[in-house]
Amino acid sequence: MNEQLIEKITKMVVEKLQTSNLKTDDRDNDNKQMPVMLFQETLVGNHFTEETVRATPDGNVKFFDTALEDKKPKSVNLQASKSKPVIEESNKEAYLADLRKKTPARIVVGRAGTRPKTATWLQFRFDHAAAVDAVYGEVPQEILERLGFLQFHSKVLDKEEYIRRPDLGRRLSDDSKKMVAEKCQRAPRVQIVASNGLSAKALEVNLEDVYLSLEQSLNNLNIEMGTTIYVDKGRVALMDEIGEILQPDVVIILIGERPGLVSAESLSAYICYKPRIGTIEAERMVVSNIHKGGIPPVEAGAYLGTVIQKILKYEASGVSLVKKEG
């Protein structure tokens, strides 16, 4: 709208209101200095005052009702919607079933009195047994032989000691240390290590796909691989000692994750640039949750190749890599 026309209309409205107030109010002349207050009252929502303005004698004043309609409260519909139930009772089970499909977690499983339902309880027992089997299981020999992994041992003697003594899982046994130095290629660009860790099932299910995909990715990037090795009952920091012995630029260890009650087949890949004994955890990188319900193994292997390429480019890993990338 034209600003001059607005100013003219405003002045006419104010003058008209002041004139009408003088006829009905006997107060002194100070009250004539309140046009602003009168105009504000009109804008706030006194629609009847605006209707009076329409009746100006010259007929040039015209107000549009669109602005007034916008000021109508919208809370009427909101209040009405709040009063309605969120879920119709007849659709409740379908709604809960849809929620259960969105996550493998145990949600809205219901109960019978104070106890879980029979099916829920049996599934819980099954998943717990699968987690125990994953911890105490062994990686099938045929998989390691098919992939050509040389096999070595940490200082741990059995699973009970492995759980109680993490420090022993971070070191090679004396015999394995000598064999690694004798049989493995020295100073490769990338050294690949696999270990059952806390889930042999994770390697049984995912190792082949991850390794073959990673191998292909490194070959495509022209990155040299060393002798691939498997260490029974190893921990993540085992890569430090292997780094000391073989002096690779990058060590990647594929290791079984601690099993849970949703999946006992999850694999992790820890990567570090020139790991040596005393390396701090901030220098390591990890890609975790590799399994059919998380990161697909084949995609994970290809992705790990690109991560290693970046580590070699910046000659850093972990927090140091983030700082160099800016």
pLDDT of residue 73: 52
Low-confidence ranges of the chain (pLDDT < 50): 30-31, 34, 36-51, 53, 55-56, 76
pLDDT of residue 93: 81
Q: Under a CB-based contact definition with an 8 Å cutoff, are residues 268 and 286 in contact? A: yes
Predicted confidence (pLDDT) per residue in 56-80, tens digit:
455 555 665 655 555 555 554 555 5
Alpha-helical regions (H) of 165-315:
174-183, 200-220, 238-246, 297-314
Q: Report the candidate in 275, 289, 288, 278 with the shortest Cα–Cα distance to residue 317.
A: 275
> CA 201 to CA 125: how far, in whole Å?
18
For residues 47-74, one letter each, b for 16 or more C-beta atoms within 10 angstroms of the residue's C-beta and e for the rest, the string is eeebeebeeeeeeebeeeeeeeeeeeee
pLDDT of residue 100: 85
pLDDT of residue 63: 60
pLDDT of residue 23: 55
Q: Which amino acid is at 318?
A: G
